Amino acid sequence: QVQLVESGGGLVQAGGSLRLSCAASGLTFSRYVMGWFRQTPGKERDLVAAINWSGGSRDYADSVKGRFTISRDNAKNTVYLQMNSLKPEDTAVYYCAATQAPTVPSTTRRYNHWGQGTQVTVSS
């Protein structure tokens, strides 16, 4: 069965950095588009960043452009989210997701595999 396991979340002060990792198993990782989403209570789960199979195409939410970087290592079946210059509004549960879509979708409904989430808390 497919399993996505996020790690690297935690508490950090505003302006700090965190690196999230998502280890995938049970799938042919290089064939999947990978995405990071985040969700806060009372709000929908929204795209943070996504990356295609080769890593040559990326998509970011406007709110994180210039601060976050998504990358992948197909040899390690792992996708990363480097988060710099963190702001309190970045506080959320971050989810790793996977899809075999031919493009890089930005909506949750297009992703069919999900991790359990990891909490990121940014203090003022």
Write out pLDDT tens, residues 7-27. Answer: 999 999 999 999 999 999 998
* Share above pLDDT 90 across residues of the chain, in percent, rounded to a whole number: 90
90: left (phi over 0), alpha (psi -120 to 50) or beta: alpha
pLDDT in tens, 61-83: 999 999 999 999 999 999 999 99
pLDDT at 28 over 90: no
Tokens 């939410």 sit on residue: 61
Q: Of 28, 31, 47, which Cα lies nearest the Cα of 96?
A: 47
Q: What tokens appear for 24 in the block?
A: 């995938």
| Residues 6+ positions from 58 with CB-CB distance below 8 Å | 49, 50, 51, 52, 70, 104
Q: Which residues contact 98 (CB under 8 A, 6 or more apart)?
A: 2, 4, 24, 27, 32, 33, 34, 35, 111, 112, 113, 114
More confident call, 50 vs 1: 50
Is it the case that residue 123 has pLDDT exceeding 90?
yes
